[in-house]
């Protein structure tokens, strides 16, 4: 990173900060309206169910945010959940203790992520193609492991803890660890050099590499982390539904990507905030929960989700286009050079910026 960027650790691109706030406000509004309009939505019991429902999406969205900001994608996360779930079932049926199985499942997830990472970085293959491949491969392996059986007799203590609440109240036991992870990922992305590298490579990885960012290595570890988190979700999913099945979490990757995009992360990389993604996840899942309670049919749910996603992509771009129009008339025509400037770049300011002749 250049020294100049280092002095501006937490500056968000202005346009995005706008969308960010919009998603958060929209989420708050949804929660408020749903609490008022839908019986049972605002109850503590529903809050418990809602949190248990959104936990897997939120957890998977954390590393997904970092990966998408870095300009890549990981579509194999849900299959990794399924495969680690199948592995758990297989080991449990084989008489292993859960204390051993849980770390093994997370480790297995990390290995599966590392395989993605190797193909993307070491072989330089496009991540979309790689992870669509491993989406099928890992799901297939899950079926090879468990086939058409389901393992269901997990230790009651563990399954009860997973769906239980702190001190018998309404806040699920899983909230503290999840909050810890959310804060951790937010800090990494927004307050560390690693996070700034991720933004830089997402904006332009060639430039980032020239500036000394270890692009390949960072991307590799992002995939490892993504896999490990998916392994953790595999554990959660298996214990929450107290059943290990090869088809667990099937199709969840799209919900995760939808939530990340809804949260204002640019699919082209280089832009996004974790706060927006958390809001996106809450918005998507609470909306589904509220509509379900309001007895809206499942098909309408998918229509609403799709519409919301289109809007989330459309609106910021529309706003940007509208904002850019008067400016284009005022500024001398400059050659638009590819994607948006990296977020670390200072915004155009009236006072002259330092020019020391060095270009990144």
Partner 1 sequence: MSPMIRRRTPRRTAGATALALGVALTLAACGGTTRDGEEERDDVPAGGASADPDAEFASDLSFAMLPKSVNNPYFEASSEGAARIVEELDGSYEYTGPSDASASSQLSYVNALSQQATDVVLLSANDPNALCSALEQARDLETTVVTFDSDVAPECRDVFVSQVDGAEVSGTLLELTAEQIGGEGEIAVLSATANATNQNAWIDAMEAELAENPDYADIELVAVAYGDDADEKSFRETQGLLQAHPDLKAIVSPTTVGIAAAARYLQGSEYGGEVALTGLGTPNQMREFVTDGTVTEFALWDPTRLGELAAYAGAAVASGIITGAEGETFTAGELGEYTVGSDGVITLGPPARFNADNIDAFDF
| Residues in contact with partner 1 by the rule CB under 8 A | 10, 12, 14, 17-18, 20-21, 24-25, 27-28, 31-32, 35, 39-47, 49, 53, 143, 147-150, 152, 159-160, 163, 170, 237, 241-243, 245-251, 273, 275-276, 278-279, 282, 289, 292-293, 295, 297-299, 301-302, 326-327, 329-331, 347-350
Smaller CB distance to partner 1: residue 197 or 255? 255
Smaller CB distance to partner 1: residue 142 or 225? 142
In angstroms, what is the minimal distance from the CB of 53 to partner 1?
A: 6
In angstroms, what is the minimal distance from the CB of 322 to partner 1?
A: 13
C-alpha span between 26 and 311 (Å, rounded): 12
Q: Is 348 helix (H, G, I), strand (E, B) or coil?
A: coil
In angstroms, what is the minimal distance from the CB of 223 to partner 1?
A: 25
H or E element that contains 178: helix 175-191
Place of tokens 């093994």: 104
C-alpha span between 62 and 54 (Å, rounded): 12
Residue 301 token pair: 């749910």
C-alpha span between 166 and 169 (Å, rounded): 6
Smaller CB distance to partner 1: residue 244 or 257? 244
In angstroms, what is the minimal distance from the CB of 94 to partner 1?
A: 19
**Which residues are CB-contacts of 212 (< 8 A; sequence separation ≥ 6)?**
1
In angstroms, what is the minimal distance from the CB of 124 to partner 1?
A: 33
Q: Is 84 exposed, middle or buried (0-12, 13-18, 19+ CB in 10 A)?
A: buried
Smaller CB distance to partner 1: residue 330 or 334? 330
In angstroms, what is the minimal distance from the CB of 243 to partner 1?
A: 4
Place of tokens 């969205």: 61
In angstroms, what is the minimal distance from the CB of 170 to partner 1?
A: 7
| Contact (Cβ atoms closer than 8 angstroms) between residue 131 and residue 116 | yes
Smaller CB distance to partner 1: residue 30 or 121? 30
| Contact (Cβ atoms closer than 8 angstroms) between residue 240 and residue 108 | no
| Contact (Cβ atoms closer than 8 angstroms) between residue 60 and residue 233 | yes
Q: Phi and psi of 40, rounded to 5°? A: 80, -10
In angstroms, what is the minimal distance from the CB of 215 to partner 1?
A: 27
Closest C-alpha among 131, 128, 111 to residue 224: 111
Phi-psi region of 272 (alpha: psi -120 to 50; beta: other; left: phi over 0): left
Smaller CB distance to partner 1: residue 70 or 305? 305
C-alpha span between 317 and 341 (Å, rounded): 15
| Contact (Cβ atoms closer than 8 angstroms) between residue 275 and residue 260 | no
Smaller CB distance to partner 1: residue 146 or 208? 146
Smaller CB distance to partner 1: residue 139 or 219? 139
Closest C-alpha among 141, 293, 124, 278 to residue 216: 124
Smaller CB distance to partner 1: residue 46 or 127? 46
Tell me the longest C-alpha to C-alpha distance in the chain. Answer: 72
Smaller CB distance to partner 1: residue 19 or 115? 19
In angstroms, what is the minimal distance from the CB of 52 to partner 1?
A: 9
């Amino acid at each position: 990173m250049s020294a100049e960027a280092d002095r501006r650790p937490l500056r968000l691109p202005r346009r995005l900060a706008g969308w960010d706030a919009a998603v958060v406000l929209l989420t708050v509004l949804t929660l408020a309206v749903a609490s008022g309009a839908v019986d049972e939505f605002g109850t503590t019991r529903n809050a418990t169910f809602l949190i248990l429902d959104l936990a897997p999406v939120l957890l998977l969205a954390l590393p997904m945010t970092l990966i998408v900001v870095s300009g890549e994608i990981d579509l194999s996360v849900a299959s990794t959940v399924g495969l680690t779930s199948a592995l758990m079932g297989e080991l449990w049926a084989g008489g292993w203790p859960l204390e051993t199985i849980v770390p093994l499942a997370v480790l297995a997830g990390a290995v599966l992520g590392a395989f993605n990472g190797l193909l993307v970085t070491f072989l330089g293959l496009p991540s979309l193609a790689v992870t669509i491949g491993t989406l099928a491969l890992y799901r297939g392996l899950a079926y090879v492991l468990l086939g058409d059986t389901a393992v269901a007799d997990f230790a009651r203590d563990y399954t009860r803890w997973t769906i239980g609440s702190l001190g018998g109240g309404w806040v699920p036991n899983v909230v503290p660890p999840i909050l810890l992870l959310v804060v951790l990922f937010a800090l990494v992305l927004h307050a560390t050099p690693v996070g700034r590298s991720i933004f830089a490579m997402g904006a332009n990885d060639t430039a980032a590499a020239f500036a000394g960012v270890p692009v390949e290595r960072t991307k590799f570890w992002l995939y490892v982390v993504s896999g490990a988190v998916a392994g953790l979700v595999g554990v959660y999913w298996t214990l929450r539904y107290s059943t290990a099945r090869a088809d667990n979490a099937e199709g969840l990757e799209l919900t995760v990507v939808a939530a990340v995009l809804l949260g204002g992360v640019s699919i082209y990389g280089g832009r996004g905030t974790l706060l927006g993604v958390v809001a996106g996840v809450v918005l998507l899942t609470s909306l589904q929960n509220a509509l379900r309670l309001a007895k809206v049919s499942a098909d309408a749910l998918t229509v609403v989700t799709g519409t919301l996603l289109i809007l989330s992509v459309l609106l910021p771009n529309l706003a940007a286009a509208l904002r850019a129009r008067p400016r284009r008339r005022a500024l001398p025509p400059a050659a638009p050079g590819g994607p948006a400037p990296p977020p670390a770049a200072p915004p155009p300011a009236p006072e002259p910026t330092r020019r020391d002749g060095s270009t990144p």
